[in-house]
Amino acid sequence: MRAALLREPKPAGDGPLEIAEIPDPEVGPEDVLVHVEACGVCRTDLQLCEGDLVAQTLPIIPGHQIVGTVVARGGRVADVDIGERVGVAWIAATCGSCRFCASGRENLCERSQFTGWHRDGGFAERLVARADFVHRLPDGVDAGAAAPLLCGGAIGLRALRVSGIEPGGRLGLYGFGASATCAIQIARHWECDVYVSTRSTAERQRSLELGAAWAGSYDEQPPVPLDAAVTFAPVGSVVVDALKALDRGGVVAINAIHLDHIPQLEYADLWWERQIRSVANVTRADVADLMELAVAIPIRTHVEEHPLVDANLTLDRLARGLVSGAAVLTMESPPAS
């Protein structure tokens, strides 16, 4: 099969991925083999390829927003059928028995594994995943449109929950990429007023088209105090900007696996029981809830598609802020049987 391998992190502009022909992965007794139709390119993939996120194993195939078709299954798999279309997300495996797993917080499992970080991901024509960690997809879903929902959509939903935003509340979104594009649609479905801060003029316009009440740059304060805010930009100074915009008792939820640093805070900006919370991974329940919402709202995704061979080009576009919405790698169809 053809795959994009990361052997050594380097800047996106230097082409960190090697497009190579490698053997199909082996299918374990509890696994399924998925022919990949499309895989979203997440900022986490970029951070891994550039070395900001420390690789857990090398070489590794990145990618954790995967839509495909099951083409084989292990001997112990009974509830996923060959020919079924499934999604594979960031969370790849957990122990299932620790206190976090037992309390519905598998995203905090100390023995968890993640797709495209611990286990090979979806920048490839085929992928092996644990059968109990794949997600059934609605009938007729478009692969390219669905792929960004499996990470950006699910983590966006979790970030909204961590922020504590209530229906009808005033919500700030800081940064406006793929995840925020999903989050604003959920928030508007909840009848929240949404205030967007981003450096991009085009993204500000796009947020207004999706129902934002206001859009400005990071150095502008929203016109009203915010009940909650979610930061998507991996820049610590943006967290401080969001904190300053909060009303009393508000929460800033940081939706990032890597952040450069948080500058020194003025305690007055944290006073009045304001909070800063991180958002760590997703659970399978988050993904399932998001997919239901995606159909009910429905959530619209804005994507640009690239073939697998252009994986480095796609990473570079993401690094330079040229991707509007979400970037998705597409694969060739499997040969007819």
Q: Is 337 inside any structural domain?
A: no
Work out how many domains the chain is built from and give that number.
2
306-321, pLDDT tens digit by residue? 999 999 999 999 999 8
pTM attached to this predicted model: 0.91
Q: Is 191 inside any structural domain?
A: yes
Q: Is 44 inside any structural domain?
A: yes
Claim to verify: residue 30 and residue 145 sit in the same structural domain:
yes
Per-residue pLDDT averaged across 255-280, rounded? Answer: 90
Claim to verify: residue 176 and residue 270 sit in the same structural domain:
yes
Residue 19 belongs to what H/E stretch? strand 17-21
In the predicted model, is pLDDT for residue 139 greater than 80? no
What lies within 8 Å, CB to CB, of 199 at 6+ separation is: 217, 218
Claim to verify: residue 36 and residue 130 sit in the same structural domain:
yes
| Residues of the domain holding 32 | 2-151+282-330
Residue 275 burial by CB count (10 A; 0-12/13-18/19+): exposed, middle or buried? middle
Claim to verify: residue 96 and residue 109 sit in the same structural domain:
yes
Claim to verify: residue 187 and residue 205 sit in the same structural domain:
yes
Residue 15 burial by CB count (10 A; 0-12/13-18/19+): exposed, middle or buried? middle
Per-residue pLDDT averaged across 163-170, rounded? Answer: 98
Claim to verify: residue 12 and residue 143 sit in the same structural domain:
yes
Q: What is the pLDDT of residue 59?
A: 98
13-43, pLDDT tens digit by residue? 999 999 999 999 999 999 999 999 999 999 9
Claim to verify: residue 131 and residue 10 sit in the same structural domain:
yes
Claim to verify: residue 113 and residue 19 sit in the same structural domain:
yes
What lies within 8 Å, CB to CB, of 336 at 6+ separation is: none
Q: Is 336 inside any structural domain?
A: no
Claim to verify: residue 226 and residue 287 sit in the same structural domain:
no
In the predicted model, is pLDDT for residue 335 greater than 60? no
What CATH number has the domain bearing residue 295?
A: 3.90.180.10
Rounded alpha-carbon distances, angstroms, from residue 226 to 139, 207, 254: 38, 17, 15
CB atoms within 10 A of CB 295: 12
Pair of tokens at residue 27: 């299918």
